[in-house]
Structure 1
Amino acid sequence: MRSNKERLAQAGLLELGGILIVAPLSAMLTGHDLASMGSLAVVMSTLAVIWSTVWNWMFDRWVPTRQRNMLQRITQALGFELGLVLVTVFLVAAWLEIGLWQALLLDLGFVAFFLVWAMIFNPLFDAVMTRLLARKAARERKHPSPHSMR
C-alpha cells in the first residue's frame, strides 16, 4: 500500500512533468505563447487534481469496494475525464479566446496527452520507488534504528 506522502509525490511529479512537456508542445502546435499555454496547463492540472479527489470520493460512495470489475473501472475513468472536460472546455475557450469547438479539440488533446504520459510515468515512478524502498529496507536491516528494536 502506498503512503499518503508517496501518493502526493506521485501526483505532484506526474502533473509537474506533464506541464513541463505539454506547455511548450501545445504552444508550438497552437501558435499561442508559452506563458498562456503554461499558465493554462497549470490551472487545468490543478483543476484535474481537485476534480480527481472529488470524483473518486463520490465514486467510492457509489461503488464502496476496492474489488471493482472492469465495467466499474471504465465508468470511473470515463466519469473523471468527462467531468474534467465539461469544466475545462469553457475555461480553455475563455482563456485562449477561441470557439468552443476549438477548445474541445484542444482539451481532448490535453486529455490524450495526459493519458499517454500517465501510462509512461506511473510504471517509471513505481520502479524508482521499488528501488528506493528496497534500499531503505536494506539500510534498516543493516543499521536498525533504536525505535525498531522495541
Structure 2
Amino acid sequence: MQADKSLRERIFQALGFEILAIVLSTPLLAWAMATEWHAMGVVTVATCLFALIWNVLFNRAFDQLRRRWGIGLSVPVRLTHAMLFEGGLIVICVPFAAWWLDIGLLAALLMDIGLLLFFLPYTYLYNWAYDTLREPVQRWYHRRLARRGLTRHTC
C-alpha cells in the first residue's frame, strides 16, 4: 500500500488478488452453500469483477488520503483498510448474489458474511505479502533488465 504505486501497478495488484480469490473461494463457497460449482462460479467471477474495479478505485483513494494525512502503514491502518474495503464490497455484491441465486437479501448477506470471514484475513495477508515482496521483486527485475541492456522505459 505504498503511495507511489502507479495505476498500472494497482491494476496488476488487483488482478493477482482476484485471480487467487477465485481459485480459493469458488470451491469453498459451492461446498458451503451446497450449490453447483457453475452457479457459484458465476457469482464468484461476478463478485471478483465488481471487487476488481472496487479494489483499484478504493486503493487509489486510500493511498491519496494516507499521503494527504501523512499516515503510515501500521497494523491498525492495514486493518482499517481491509475492513473498509470489504464493507464497501458487501454493499455492492449482496444485491447481485440475491438476484442471481434467487435467494433473499438476508440469505445473500449471510453468505457474504461467511465470505467476509475468509476475505478479511485474505485481504490483509495478500496486501501485506504484496508490499513485502514488491521491492525485492522490482530490484531483481531491474537487475535482469540491466544485464540485457534494457531499461524499464524501453520494455
TM-score range, shorter chain: 0.7 to 0.9
Aligned-residue RMSD, C-alpha: 3.5
Deviations 1:16-37 (A, max 9, x none): 1101110111001111111111
- Aligned partner (choices 43, 48, 53) of residue 45 of structure 1: 48
What code does the residue aligned with 1:42 have? V
Distance between the aligned counterparts of 2:128 and 2:142, measured in 1?
A: 21
Distance between the aligned counterparts of 2:128 and 2:66, measured in 1?
A: 26
Greater Cα radius of gyration, structure 1 or 2? 1
Residue 2 to residue 95, structure 1, CA distance change in 2 (3 Å): same
What code does the residue aligned with 1:15 have? E
Deviations 1:27-80 (A, max 9, x none): 011111111111111111111232344556777898881524889887765554
Count of matched residue positions in the alignment of Structure 1 and Structure 2: 148
Look up the match of 1:97: 102
TM-score where L is the length of structure 2: 0.71
1:108 aligns with 2:147: no
Q: Among the aligned pairs, what percent are the same residue?
A: 30
For residues 64-143 of structure 1, the aligned pairs below 5 Å read 65-68=68-71, 78-139=83-144, 142=147
Paired residues of 2:25 and 2:44 also in contact (CA < 8 A): yes
Bigger drift between 101-110 and 68-77 goes to 68-77
What code does the residue aligned with 1:18 have? A
1:17 aligns with 2:20: yes
Residue 28 to residue 50, structure 1, CA distance change in 2 (3 Å): same
Bigger drift between 78-87 and 18-27 goes to 78-87
Residue 23 to residue 56, structure 1, CA distance change in 2 (3 Å): same
Residue 6 to residue 39, structure 1, CA distance change in 2 (3 Å): same
- Aligned partner (choices 16, 25, 29) of residue 32 of structure 2: 29
Once the 2 structures are TM-superposed, how far is the Cα of residue 142 of structure 1 from its aligned partner? 4.8
Gaps of 5+ in 2: none
Distance between the aligned counterparts of 2:145 and 2:77, measured in 1?
A: 40
